């Protein structure tokens, strides 16, 4: 059921702008600050699963610790009846995936300039003990229409480094084309898996395609 026009907490949901395996993302208005925000609402059926609720809460705690120019800003996390939601800065400069689909391979200097921003953001997150686990072009957006300021937007698969030996059973967490071999085999991962994924993104920006593709992981 669409939540457009409804209010969660103080945030009025205006437009559905995306959806993923865990949540719908809405453009919304914060009336107190008179600004547009993004509200990520967990799928209702997942709220009945305690493990997914805890995972969603971990995402909120992970994002709240990150204050970096190339990581989406966290605003709020709350629950209203059976609806759990995150509130983040609203970014509308488009995704790196869409940009690459339009431009194809980028000049090496431009690709390096973009990857340096993202590498700095990842280094910062790793210093905070957070592993992203899902670095890919669709999770990278631009703050500006000139596509020079990239931002990591989705820490939906983030794990605190203290839990790096925890594996996800019965599923693969991430996107196969960008995942490290150990992640594909559901083995213990650390910060190096993020670096591997970022390397795949750099390769795609320079060459125009990912280095590996297949019908199955």
Among 172, 173, 174, 179, CA closest to 201: 179
Output the CA torsion sign for 33, 19, 112, 172: positive
The residues that are catalytic are 134
Q: What is the pTM of this model?
A: 0.85
| Predicted pLDDT of residue 167 | 40
What integer best gives the mean pLDDT of the chain?
Answer: 86
Alpha carbons 127 and 135: distance in angstroms, whole number = 17
pLDDT digits (tens, 9 = 90+) for 165-213: 334 333 445 678 998 998 888 888 899 999 999 999 999 999 999 998 8
Maximum distance among all alpha carbons in the chain?
Answer: 50
Alpha carbons 53 and 69: distance in angstroms, whole number = 28
| Predicted pLDDT of residue 200 | 97
pLDDT digits (tens, 9 = 90+) for 95-147: 999 999 999 999 999 999 999 999 999 999 999 888 888 899 999 999 988 89
């Amino acid at each position: 059921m669409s939540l457009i026009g409804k209010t969660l907490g103080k945030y009025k949901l205006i437009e559905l702008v995306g959806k993923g395996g865990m949540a719908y993302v809405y453009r919304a208005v914060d009336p107190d600050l008179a600004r547009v925000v993004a509200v990520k609402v967990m799928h209702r059926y997942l709220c009945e699963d305690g493990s997914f609720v805890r995972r969603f809460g971990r995402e909120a705690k992970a994002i709240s610790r990150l204050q970096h120019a190339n990581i989406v800003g966290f605003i709020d996390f709350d629950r209203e009846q059976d609806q759990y939601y995150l509130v983040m800065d609203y970014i509308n400069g488009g995704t790196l995936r869409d940009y690459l689909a339009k431009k194809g391979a980028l000049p090496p200097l431009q690709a390096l300039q973009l990857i340096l921003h993202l590498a700095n953001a990842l280094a910062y997150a790793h210093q905070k003990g957070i592993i992203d686990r899902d670095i890919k072009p669709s999770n990278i957006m631009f703050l500006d229409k000139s596509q020079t300021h990239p931002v990591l937007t989705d820490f939906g698969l983030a794990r605190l480094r203290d839990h790096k030996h925890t594996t996800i059973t019965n599923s693969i967490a991430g996107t196969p084309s960008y995942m490290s071999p150990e992640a594909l085999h559901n083995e213990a991962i650390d910060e190096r898996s993020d670096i591997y994924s970022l390397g795949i993104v750099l390769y795609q920006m320079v060459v125009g395609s990912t280095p590996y593709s297949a019908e199955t992981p």
